[in-house]
Amino acid sequence: MKKIAMLVSGGVDSSVALHLLKKQGYDIEAFYLKIWLEDEMSFLGECPWEEDLSYVEKVCKQCDVPLKVVSMQKEYHERVVKYTIETVKMGLTPNPDMLCNREVKFGAFLEKYGGNFDKVATGHYAQIEELENGGARLKRAPDPVKDQTYFLAMMKKEQLQKAMFPIGHMQKKDVRKYALDNNLATARRKDSQGICFLGKISFSDFVKQHLGTKKGKFIEKETGKELGEHDGFYFYTIGQRRGVNINGGPWYVCGKDAQKNVVYLSHGFAANDYSRDKFGVGNLNWIDEAPQKSNLKVKLRHGENFHECTIQIRENGDVSVFLKQKDRGVTPGQFAVFYDGEYCLGGGVIL
């Protein structure tokens, strides 16, 4: 009988995963990972961890599975929060959810507790195909909307070999139905939204807490005319319209200068003007090895949409990507994830 560590969050997905494993006869211990910001920034708003934990406790009791609450606050700060702040300071757009899985759930947690368990399970919508040589491949879930392989693309092969995704073969509607049929405490609980470690705290409040405010200028791109002041370039993203409270609008953010703390605005922001079909990708993580073929698919954000692309691997290991169609969302600092059919090959940071 395999011994499984089940990471539970208080949501319906991990609850159903736990119930399925128990039903299948595994020896299970549940773990709730308590993370850093939920206490540190509680003054900014309602913090969800106590409510999450109450649901976790109810489901573990229903499944008759022991529960351990583990503090991962230091690890989150060192491995995820620091990265997020440094990326914002450079004027780039971070994606901390990409690192949560590799650095915490299948990183720090595995380092501390992995030796006691055969597998570490989560409620992700993804599938693992185990190979005869002991390796593993990451395969898309059949639910194209909920598929989470994008967020798992930076995992190492060794981490994937230790991972288990009990609901990865299911559609979301079937997961919800399973929870209702088995009267799980989380059956009617809404799915959580937003960045993993922030809970209900807004990203702007998080940035303000760590970087403060820094007065800078709004400049009209076409004329160089000064339009007003802002509280810091790091509060703005390209294409943003909301939150730009300048007379004579609507104004769109069309550029940033991190060194000068300048945000460039334009009346005539057009998606086509900022679309790209060529870009580089660095800091690559190939789950197995670099692909031998050049014709692949790529995701530029979580969701069901792919781009057909060709890639060229550069001498330094970075990749040049050529899309068949332009996309406005080619955002430096975000992640591009590559696919060959149903299989996720890995990904890297858009340059």
Active site residues: 100, 196
If 0-12 CB within 10 Å is exposed, 13-18 middle and 19+ buried, where does residue 343 land?
A: middle
Give the type of residue at 102: R
Distance of CA 190 to the CA centre of its chain: 19
Rounded (10°) angle between helices 49-63 and 12-23: 20
- Give φ, ψ of 60 to 5 degrees: -65, -35
H helices present in the chain, as ranges: 12-23, 37-40, 49-63, 73-76, 82-89, 96-99, 109-113, 149-152, 157-162, 172-181, 203-211
The Cα–Cα gap between 312 and 31 comes to 42
CA distance 155 to 100: 10
- Residue 346 CA to residue 296 CA, distance in Å, equals 12
Measured between alpha carbons, how far is 56 from 52 in angstroms, rounded to an integer? 6
How far is C-alpha 167 from the chain's CA centre? 18
- Length in residues, the chain: 351
Question: Nearest-CA neighbor of 235 among 259, 211, 251, 219?
Answer: 211
- Helix, strand, or coil here: 15? helix
DSSP state of 329: T
Q: Which residue has the tokens 């549940």?
A: 30
Whether residue 296 contacts residue 309, with contact meaning beta carbons closer than 8 Å, is answered with yes
- Closest to 8 measured CA to CA, from 71, 60, 74, 73: 60
Residue holding tokens 């609850």? 15
